[in-house]
Structure 1
Amino acid sequence: MTKNHFLSLYQYNTWANNTILNHLKQLPEGIIRSQVKSVFPSIFDTLMHVYIIDQGWYSVLTKAYRSDDYQTIKTTVDRLVSEVKDLELGDFTKKQQNLAINLETFIAGNDMGYMDTFSGVQMTYGDVVTHMVNHGTYHRGNVTAMLHQLGEKGVPTDYGVYLYYTSRQ
């Protein structure tokens, strides 16, 4: 395990998100909002979901609100949807990158073994980071499937691919 395994894991997540976003920028304009029959109605809706969930976990980790404060969570989700739903991919990417910087700073500066209760479930901060990375991986797979439905190719974002690329730098 590396010195800060959870920071390394989240850096992989950041790399994978950036890889997908950069790939999408190369595709025909409008494809990310094309309707598909999938988990979410479009690629952009999938990206927005991951961003909002990550933002929510960041807010809970930094104690901006409690994980069982469902009214605040609903209000925040509604606000975030309103803020990002009409963004161009470049502006959305900037929001995603700012969140990644905030999360990486949090991970680097906090004890990932710290145990807390999130909506009645005992989890360490490291458990939350692992969940976030797993959640992102799952939905990047959705994006790849959606791209194939739309006649486009995906881009590999597996952890092993990340390790390969970063070992070459």
Structure 2
Amino acid sequence: MNHPEQMFNYHSWANQTLLNRIKELPANVLREEVNTAFPTIAQAFSHIYAVESVWYRVLNGDRMQEALEMCMPLEKENLLHSAVQFANDFAQSAEYYKEWLRDQDDLERTILLENPYAGTRETRLSEIVLHVVNHGTYHRGNVSAMLRQLGHASTMNDYSLFWYQ
């Protein structure tokens, strides 16, 4: 298994680990408002999922602008999801990514990425996968902080714990 694939497996595990913790809490915890990066935990998970979907489409050859137009509406569409529905969405997305990763001969191959926010650059496929992982890690940290603000403990989902799972 290559490093980007291993890191994506960690990302998938960490999403499920945090969602499993949220499943233990009252269902309304997803929509309780807090004063942080996202107003609700549901919005944070909707954002992670939408962005993960954008990058999957880019990895499969879509222009970034087209991928954004197709996937970013998911941020609003998924706001009423339960923790179980989010877990199912992320599990399905993980299967798509894992299948894509299995089919790749060269993750160091570059594509021309036309990012409407940052400009155009050559980007390695591996960099995109690692960005998806890093983006998820950043926002799972937001979710953990949100849980604490709401009076609930989060759960450890560090990469070093993943090593032992």
The CA deviation string for residues 3-44 of structure 1, in whole angstroms up to 9 with x for no partner, is 411111100000000000101000122011100000000011
Of residues 51, 63, 66, the one that matches 1:66 is 63
Does residue 154 of structure 1 match 2:154?
yes
Runs of 4+, deviation exceeding 4 Å: none
Which residue number corresponds to residue 118 of structure 1? 113
Structure 1 match to 2:71: 76
1:90 aligns with 2:84: yes
Distance 2:10 2:111 in 1: 24
Q: In structure 2, do the counterparts of structure 1 residues 82 and 137 end up closer, same or farther at CA, with 3 Å as the change threshold?
A: closer
Gaps (5+ residues) in structure 1?
none
8 Å contact 2:108–2:124 — kept in the other structure? yes
Identity level (%): 32
Q: TM-score, normalised by structure 1?
A: 0.88
CA distance in 1: counterparts of 2:36 and 2:47, whole angstroms: 14
- Cα offset for 1:68? 3.8
- Structure-1 residue corresponding to 2:13: 15
Distance 1:77 1:133 in 2: 18
Code of the aligned partner of 2:143? V
Q: TM-score, normalised to structure 2's length?
A: 0.90
Equivalent position amino acid for 1:94 in 2:
N
Q: Point out where structure 2 has 5 or more consecutive residues left out of the alignment.
A: 115-119
3-state DSSP class of the match of 1:30?
A: helix
Aligned to 2:44: 46
> Could you say what secondary structure the match of 2:84 adopts?
helix
In structure 2, how many angstroms separate the alpha carbons of the residues matched to 1:82 and 1:138?
A: 20
Larger displacement relative to structure 2 (99-108 or 50-59):
99-108
> What residue is the counterpart of 2:4 in the other structure?
6
Counterpart CA distance in 2 for 1:25 and 1:148 is 15
Alpha-carbon shift at residue 73 of structure 1 (Å): 2.2
User: How far apart are 1:75 and its partner, in Å?
Assistant: 4.5
Distance 2:76 2:156 in 1: 30
Secondary structure, counterpart of 2:111 in structure 1: strand
How far apart are residue 82 of structure 1 and its match?
Answer: 4.7
Deviations 1:120-157 (A, max 9, x none): 12111100011110100000100010011000001011
8 Å contact kept, 1:144–1:155: yes
What is the distance in 1 between the residues matched to 2:80 and 2:27? 14
Matches of 1:161 and 1:62 in 2, distance apart? 31
